């Protein structure tokens, strides 16, 4: 076995080197503290592997993303979203029989309990749908407790099937329209669209162009190894917390503007630039000025340092979709112009800042008629199978331990309590 040597306090320590199937290498420090008293410090975990995983492979330098070994480009082109869900969770592409029974299961678990439906009455009209989604997914744990082994498998299906219903109901609540129940004749994507956009008084026509664009978006978001929300799901799951509550924590982590919440912020930023007369330079300059507190939303990534393959697919998909739907959206031209200017600016070039998945996804959501505040909910719907696969992997990992990082304490050293009268 290969090893690395570390000299600490004049003592040489040998640390095993772990190599992944794609040649990624890590120094295994699991015994470092016990043997030396030292810990490692890595705020933001940029150099820390929290687990070994066989689900998703990313090479950030080469712009590679693969689910279970299959390139994202091939899945985006050929797969259905339910095939991708199956692939991520079960580890291999389904056969015809397997996908038929998986789809049937998803179809027959789509409704939510009527008692849960009443929860929606309690939210204010302007509640952000991410807050509603996180709390409704947490509430599923009260309806479907995990008492025995088989409950986990059932709960995985329930969550995959019901989350889109919860998401669509959150939207209907926000616009004051009646909830549309799921219909068993529809596919996963079609059912979500009709629950979002149908109204009881009108027939609803499914547009295959819209359904296909939704399929693509969901697939591109389906997993992304140990990002902030997925690590949160694993962190919460490591205490043996149930699936629903672990995923609810992931939804909360995703909401932040540095993570999935960026897709909403991108469109808000592009609208601001449009209202400001398309003054791109001003915004690029603001992003370069550290004192401005402004960042180009949808730019930059912890892992991708060349291009984000998902953004590349979405850029050409947004062109094609807008053409097919006959929509001319000024946001797309603004996004392209902004990208062009930023990618030719030394600040962005030196820091390897490229558009990420959130930069173009909002343009497509807009074209599909999805309101801005629902964008991060759409991301969560796509990411769900990834969260579940990662949670399962953690549960099944041999020797998995509760996640419990350490710290370097920098506060006061020992001092006594001073009574209030003497302070």
Indicate which residues carry an active-site annotation: 301, 358
Q: β-strand 70-71 against 64-67: which pairing, if any? A: antiparallel
**Among 242, 356, 361, 390, interactor with ligand ACO by CB under 6 A:** 356
CB atoms within 10 A of CB 128: 19
Our finding on whether 172 is near ligand ACO (CB under 6 A) is no
Binding residues for ligand ACO restricted to 283-302, rule: CB under 6 A: 287, 295-302
* Distance set, CA 204 to CA 62, 106, 180, 199 (Å): 43, 22, 11, 8
End-to-end CA distance of the chain: 60
199 binds ligand ACO (CB under 6 A): no
**Cα 237–243–247 angle (5° rounding)?**
80
Verify binding: residue 255, ligand ACO, rule CB under 6 A: no
Identify whether the C-beta of residue 163 lies closer than 8 Å to the C-beta of residue 155.
Answer: no
Q: How far is the CB of 222 from ligand ACO (least distance, A)?
A: 12
In this complex, which beta carbon is closest to ligand ACO, that of residue 51 or of residue 303? 303
The contact pattern for ligand ACO, residues 334-353, with x = CB under 6 A and - = no contact, is -----------------x-x
Closest by alpha carbon to 80, among 207, 189, 186, 206? 189
Q: Closest approach of Cβ 366 to ligand ACO, in Å?
A: 17
Query: Which residue, 373 or 395, is less far from ligand ACO as judged by CB?
Result: 373
DSSP characters for 121-178?
A: GGS-TT--HHHHHHHHHHHHHHHS---SHHHHHHHHHHHHHHHHHHHHHHHHHHHTPP
Whether 247 and 137 have beta carbons less than 8 Å apart is answered as yes
CB-count exposure of residue 206 (10 Å: 0-12, 13-18, 19+): middle
Under the criterion CB under 6 A, does residue 373 sit at the interface with ligand ACO?
no
CB of 304 to ligand ACO, least distance (A): 9
- DSSP state string for 274-290: HHTTS-HHHHHHHHH-G
Establish if 117 lies at the interface with ligand ACO (CB under 6 A).
Answer: no
Nearer Cβ to ligand ACO (259/324) = 259
Which DSSP string do the residues of 87-117 spell out, in sequence order? Answer: HHHHSS---HHHHHHHHHHHHTT-S--HHHH
For residues 38 to 57, the per-residue mask of contacts with ligand ACO, x marking binding by CB under 6 A and - elsewhere, is: ------x-------------
Q: Which is nearer to ligand ACO, 43 or 411 (CB)?
A: 43
Q: Does residue 380 bind ligand ACO (CB under 6 A)?
A: no
With CB under 6 A, what is the number of residues at the site for ligand ACO? 19
Among 68, 358, 364, 377, which residue interacts with ligand ACO (rule: CB under 6 A)? 358
Q: Rule CB under 6 A: say whether 315 interacts with ligand ACO.
A: no
CB 222 within 8 A of CB 385: yes
Residue placing its CB nearer to ligand ACO in the complex, 130 or 180 = 130
Q: Is 375 in the site for ligand ACO (CB under 6 A)?
A: no
Binding of ligand ACO by 383 (CB under 6 A): no
Q: Which parts of this chain interact with ligand ACO (CB under 6 A)?
A: 44, 258-260, 262, 287, 295-302, 351, 353, 356-358
């Amino acid at each position: 076995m290969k090893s690395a040597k570390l000299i600490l306090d004049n003592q040489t320590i040998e640390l095993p080197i772990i190599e992944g199937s794609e040649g990624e290498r890590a120094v295994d420090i699991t015994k470092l503290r016990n043997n030396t008293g030292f810990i490692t410090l890595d705020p933001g975990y940029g150099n820390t592997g929290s687990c070994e995983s066989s689900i998703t492979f990313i090479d950030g330098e080469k712009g590679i993303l693969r689910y279970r070994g299959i390139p994202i480009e091939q899945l985006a082109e050929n797969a259905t979203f339910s095939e991708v869900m199956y692939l991520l969770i079960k580890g291999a592409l389904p056969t015809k029989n397997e996908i038929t029974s998986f789809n049937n299961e998803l179809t027959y678990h789509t409704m939510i309990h009527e008692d849960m439906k009443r929860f929606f009455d309690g939210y204010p009209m302007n509640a952000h749908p991410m807050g509603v989604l996180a709390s409704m997914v947490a509430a599923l744990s009260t309806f479907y407790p995990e008492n025995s082994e088989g409950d986990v498998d059932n709960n995985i299906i329930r969550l995959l099937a019901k989350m889109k219903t919860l998401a669509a109901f959150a939207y209907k609540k926000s616009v004051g329209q009646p909830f549309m129940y799921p219909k068993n004749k529809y596919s996963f994507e079609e059912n979500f669209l009709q629950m979002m956009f149908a109204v009881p008084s009108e027939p609803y026509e499914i547009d295959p162009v819209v359904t296909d664009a939704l399929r693509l978006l969901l697939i591109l978001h389906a997993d992304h190894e140990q990002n902030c929300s997925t690590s949160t799901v694993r962190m919460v799951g490591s205490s043996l917390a149930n699936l629903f509550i672990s995923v609810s924590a992931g939804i909360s982590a995703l909401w932040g503007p540095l993570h999935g919440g960026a897709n909403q912020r991108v469109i808000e930023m592009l609208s601001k630039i449009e209202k400001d007369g398309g003054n791109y330079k001003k915004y690029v300059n603001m992003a370069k000025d550290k004192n401005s507190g402004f960042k180009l939303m949808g730019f930059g990534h912890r892992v991708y340092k060349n291009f984000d393959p998902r953004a590349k697919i979405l850029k050409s998909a947004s062109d094609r979709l807008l053409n097919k739907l006959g929509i001319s959206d000024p946001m797309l031209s603004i996004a392209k112009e902004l990208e062009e200017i930023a990618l030719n600016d030394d600040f962005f070039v030196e820091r390897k800042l490229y558009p990420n998945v959130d930069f173009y996804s909002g343009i497509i959501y807009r074209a599909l008629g999805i309101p801005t505040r629902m964008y991060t909910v759409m991301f969560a719907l796509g990411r769900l199978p990834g969260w579940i696969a990662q949670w399962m992997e953690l549960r099944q990992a041999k020797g998995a331990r509760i996640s419990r990082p350490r710290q370097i304490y920098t506060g006061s050293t020992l001092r006594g309590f001073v009574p209030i009268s003497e302070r």
